[in-house]
Structure 1
Amino acid sequence: MSVDKFNLLSFTGKMKTLHLSWMAFFITFMVWFNMAPLKGAIVDGVGLTLSEWKTLLIINVALTIPARVIIGALTDKFGPRLVYSSLLAICSIPCFAFALADSFTQLVIARFALGCIGAGFVVGIRMVSEWFPPKELGTAEGVYGGWGNFGSAAAAFTLPTLALLFGGEDGWRYAVAITGLMSLLFSVVYYKNTNDTPKGSTYFRPKNLGGLEVTSVKDFYFLLIMKTPMYLALALLNWKLSPQGVSLLSETVALVMYLGLALLYVYDCYATYKVNKDIFVNPVPEAHRYEFKQVAVLNILYFATFGSELAVVSMLPAFFAETFELSMATAGMLAGMYAFMNLMSRPGGGWLSDKFGRKKTLLILTAGLALGYWCLSLIDAAWPIWLAVVAVMACSFFVQSGEGAVFAAVPLIKRRLTGQIAGMTGAYGNVGAVVYLTVYSLVDTSTFFLVIACTAVLGFVTLLFMQEPKGTMTEVREDGSVELIEVT
């Protein structure tokens, strides 16, 4: 751990690593969300129908669910420096391909591949956890997540202007290509200016790459249960693309995809067993155990927090426009206040966790989350607009502070598995978005907000079973010696 003072104005030591990591995350989110602000130009330029556009929005998040799990495992094995740099460089290719596409099929292929860049977030979680002590970890992870997450808002603010500056029907292509160029160039910057750990520290790696390690037979079966929603979310996306949805896939292809997902789940379970088969014969020593329920609780909370954020950001402009009869430009600006809160709320949630404890902070923020969405369910045309905006911003504070508090706890479970745990928790955020957006397509807006509030209540109940991280976690160096890592 680097012991120099936590100073956001510094650009040396651990602070340099933090700043470079949130910048990398910022760029990944700019690239991931570079399509939505340019909707009109892309639809007109390529000649898309509304159905085709909605399909692109679905495709944009499809691969992120498995990608976060896979990238998390690769991060633990090969280190965040190499994985983040590689991800930035490789994903610039489909970004350039999207900018050059002149048909719906080409756009779909490029966008599907670009879903991988949404997994960049989990890489930085492991990187930051290596550089900051427990008393600063929540704040550092909050800054990383909050400032990096603002890349989506930055894309919305800047890319339409860039497209106009370039002008012509290809202006949007240049704007998209610039984000790809940023990603490619910063991959070099990140690789040359970061290290996986401070000098003299050990980077602990998992024993196997095939699946998440657990430390008891009970936790093995619990892990298999918690994997199921991720596959169901992918099946739901497949249904949306089938003839029952937007008809991008034929009935035969959709059935093949369902079968493929089922087989993949079976293989995943088998691979997880291969990694963990020793626990069925030899119990893991107490010092090396961790409780998988800690991971499960954080998964559920991120489902409710980040999942709802992605869903609400997608529908809020239209909600304001329809409820208060506003222009889309005005509605978009007001709705943007929800995402703008990320700059302070997510670091704030991490700081509160450092100051008052992980579990207590999460309990308070999750209760506020449930109350906030219940308030949003009451908004109608009779409300003053200013009051509706205040309610949205207050709810957003609890949502994004909750995200910060979740990832203040993730690195304190098992150091060598931090990338995989962060990957699974991050994937649950995307699962939440898929579920909530599906609910939104089936019910009215008030019921949509109430459903989110109910899942927050469920998260609050599961939180009661979480244990406050304390004491030390035990890791074994490559030479066989043991290191005790403080978590409080």
Structure 2
Amino acid sequence: MSGQDSLNIFSFKGKMKTLHMSWIAFFITFAVWFNFAPLVSVIADSLGLTNAEIKTLMLLNVALTIPARVVIGMLTDKYGPRLTFAVLLAVCSIPCFMFAFATTFEQAALSRFLIGFIGAGFVIGIRMVSEWFPANELGTAEGIYGGWGNFGSAAAAMTLPTLALAFGGEDGWRYAVAFTGALSLIFSVIWYKNVTDTPKGSTYFKPKQTGAMEVTSTGDFFLLLIMKLPMYGALALLAWKLSPAGVSLLTAQSAIIAYLSLVVLFAIEVKQTIKVNGHLFSKPVEEIHRYKFRQVAVLNILYFATFGSELAVVSMLPLFFAETFELSMVYAAMLASTYAFMNLMSRPGGGWLSDKYGRKKTLLILTAGLAVGYFAMSEITGEWPLALAVVAAMACSFFVQAGEGAVFAAVPLIKRRLTGQIAGMTGAYGNVGAVVYLTVLTMVDYSTFFMVIAGTAVIGFTTLLFMEEPKGTITEVREDGTVELINVGH
């Protein structure tokens, strides 16, 4: 690899320009998606919200992201990242403005639910970056994309309260929220005018059919359907949390309708999967065109444990520090923000280690570290020195986020034309993890909560043993029928 070809983060040309544009777009989606938490107390006063209503809004915020990531993954593969991201940024500014001008809990709830769709933006950039970078730099590039973009949530937490104060008055928070929406709208145009789906002369490979993920063997067909179930399970869990059994936002009838719709949706999805993959039962796919779906399944489980735990821990850590060490909420929130800060370096670090030492070995080490890290956090009590507790949280967060980087260093190497869909499904599993962990948190104490995450990391470690290191080439067919071999190994 020659010097000028290497990753120079200060360059704004060619592939580096695409990388910078991608993480900025992702950064803005996260700033919009997480613009509620830092202003929550002001918004609650302004709209007269109860504690249960605040928790409901936080749940609604992540609900739609699970199906959205799958849908956006498909649209990205079909229409390309350039158009998909531009439309997502523009359209999602609407619920953001709706939220800024909401006057009742119901209006706030609807707009927060719809804003969840912007959380799918992540998937688009994964495919975009994979088109521009070779396999030996892909982990690092995806890690920079993920880590710096993810920082949008921390940036929102640090700047929005100040912004609300600067606008001042009772409506300060409304202007601060609307500001993120305006950013999203403006950047959708900048993005569209400045990027292309592939470098000049490269082919953008699209799936043969859309509507469901393609698999290449009958065993994989059933594994795909099994892996769909937890996604519906998480949505059912959300419906249950919103029903009279939980916070009573939905009536008992609406909850039943929600459950039934999920069953119908799953049936439709099974039908679509048969439509796209039914031919496997009569005619096997040539060896050269096959890929192993179990690779995707393993990455899904690992992302459930890594990103799922990150989303859950980020939302409970300030409270955990405040209660365990009897700190003020402001001080506790500052300490807890160290966890999100790690993203800037950890995620690119995980991707870089993957590029250098191989995908599987890196994931095994990071997942083991993850299990140990959460086990250590389950032992934290008020007797611990505060500094030690913060160091434990930061060390744990390194393994979590480097693990996320390593997962997405492997995702684009499985099947190029399905990269959006694979990233969509793996990304959705992160949200499934968050829903599951946050539901567990409502039922158990902090120590048990951390132990549960450590336990799922051990399960992730076990499934990892079944993963194969991506090597050799992926075969893709151009529209004119010629075959291109895309290098994925070292």
Q: Considering the TM-score relative to the shorter chain, is it more than 0.5?
A: yes
Shift of residue 134 of structure 1? 0.4
Shift of residue 341 of structure 1? 0.1
CA deviations 1:434-481 (Å, max 9, x no partner) are 000011110110010000000000000000000000000100000111
1:475 partner SS: strand
Shift of residue 395 of structure 1? 0.3
Shift of residue 346 of structure 1? 0.2
Match of 1:424 in 2: 425
Match of 2:404 in 1: 403
CA deviations 1:43-97 (Å, max 9, x no partner) are 1111111111111001101100000000000000000000001100000011011
Shift of residue 4 of structure 1? 3.2
Match of 1:227 in 2: 228
Shift of residue 337 of structure 1? 0.5
CA deviations 1:116-165 (Å, max 9, x no partner) are 00000000000000000000000000000000000000000000000000
Match of 1:72 in 2: 73
Counterpart amino acid of residue 262 in structure 1: V
* Alignment of 1:200 onto 2:167: no
* Alignment of 1:310 onto 2:311: yes
* Alignment of 1:336 onto 2:363: no
Match of 1:174 in 2: 175
CA RMSD of aligned residues (A): 1.0
Shift of residue 278 of structure 1? 1.2
Match of 1:480 in 2: 481
Shift of residue 280 of structure 1? 1.1
CA contact (8 A) 1:72 1:420 kept: yes
2:198 partner SS: coil
Counterpart amino acid of residue 171 in structure 2: D
**Aligned counterparts of 1:49 and 1:304: Cα–Cα separation in 2:** 31
CA deviations 1:85-116 (Å, max 9, x no partner) are 11000000110111011111111111111000
Counterpart amino acid of residue 92 in structure 2: C
Shift of residue 8 of structure 1? 0.3
CA contact (8 A) 1:306 1:429 kept: yes
1:150 partner SS: helix
Shift of residue 356 of structure 1? 0.1
Counterpart amino acid of residue 317 in structure 2: L
**Aligned counterparts of 2:244 and 2:131: Cα–Cα separation in 1:** 47
Match of 2:438 in 1: 437
Match of 1:92 in 2: 93
Q: How does 1:465-476 map to 2 (within 5 A)?
A: 465-476=466-477
Q: How many residues are aligned here?
A: 488
Counterpart amino acid of residue 341 in structure 1: M
**Aligned counterparts of 1:5 and 1:142: Cα–Cα separation in 2:** 15
Shift of residue 5 of structure 1? 2.9
CA contact (8 A) 1:4 1:14 kept: no
Match of 1:349 in 2: 350
Counterpart amino acid of residue 113 in structure 2: F
Match of 2:463 in 1: 462
**Aligned counterparts of 2:256 and 2:110: Cα–Cα separation in 1:** 20
Match of 1:113 in 2: 114
Match of 1:260 in 2: 261
Match of 1:136 in 2: 137
Question: Larger deviation: 140-149 or 105-114?
Answer: 105-114
* Alignment of 1:363 onto 2:330: no
**Aligned counterparts of 1:191 and 1:279: Cα–Cα separation in 2:** 38
**Aligned counterparts of 2:216 and 2:93: Cα–Cα separation in 1:** 39
**Aligned counterparts of 1:179 and 1:234: Cα–Cα separation in 2:** 27
**Aligned counterparts of 2:239 and 2:264: Cα–Cα separation in 1:** 15
CA deviations 1:415-439 (Å, max 9, x no partner) are 0000000000000000000000011
Match of 2:163 in 1: 162
**Aligned counterparts of 2:415 and 2:438: Cα–Cα separation in 1:** 33
Shift of residue 208 of structure 1? 1.0
Match of 2:240 in 1: 239
CA contact (8 A) 1:85 1:187 kept: yes
1:443 partner SS: coil
Counterpart amino acid of residue 90 in structure 2: A
Q: Give the TM-score taking structure 1 as reference length.
A: 0.99
Gaps of 5+ in 2: none
**Aligned counterparts of 1:326 and 1:41: Cα–Cα separation in 2:** 21
Match of 1:279 in 2: 280
2:231 partner SS: helix
Match of 2:393 in 1: 392
CA deviations 1:146-187 (Å, max 9, x no partner) are 000000000000000000001111000000000000000000
CA deviations 1:229-271 (Å, max 9, x no partner) are 0000000000000000000000011001101100110110110
**Aligned counterparts of 2:384 and 2:97: Cα–Cα separation in 1:** 45
**Aligned counterparts of 1:102 and 1:168: Cα–Cα separation in 2:** 16
Q: Give the TM-score taking structure 2 as reference length.
A: 0.99
**Aligned counterparts of 2:391 and 2:421: Cα–Cα separation in 1:** 37
Shift of residue 397 of structure 1? 0.3
Counterpart amino acid of residue 371 in structure 1: V
Counterpart amino acid of residue 431 in structure 1: V
**Aligned counterparts of 2:175 and 2:160: Cα–Cα separation in 1:** 9
Counterpart amino acid of residue 464 in structure 1: L
Match of 2:26 in 1: 25
Match of 1:6 in 2: 7
CA contact (8 A) 1:4 1:13 kept: no
**Aligned counterparts of 2:23 and 2:15: Cα–Cα separation in 1:** 12
**Aligned counterparts of 1:57 and 1:386: Cα–Cα separation in 2:** 29
State the 4+ residue runs in structure 1 displaced beyond 4 angstroms. none
**Aligned counterparts of 2:107 and 2:64: Cα–Cα separation in 1:** 16
Counterpart amino acid of residue 32 in structure 2: V
Counterpart amino acid of residue 287 in structure 2: E
CA deviations 1:326-378 (Å, max 9, x no partner) are 10011001011000000000000000000000000000000000000000000
Match of 1:81 in 2: 82
Counterpart amino acid of residue 276 in structure 1: N
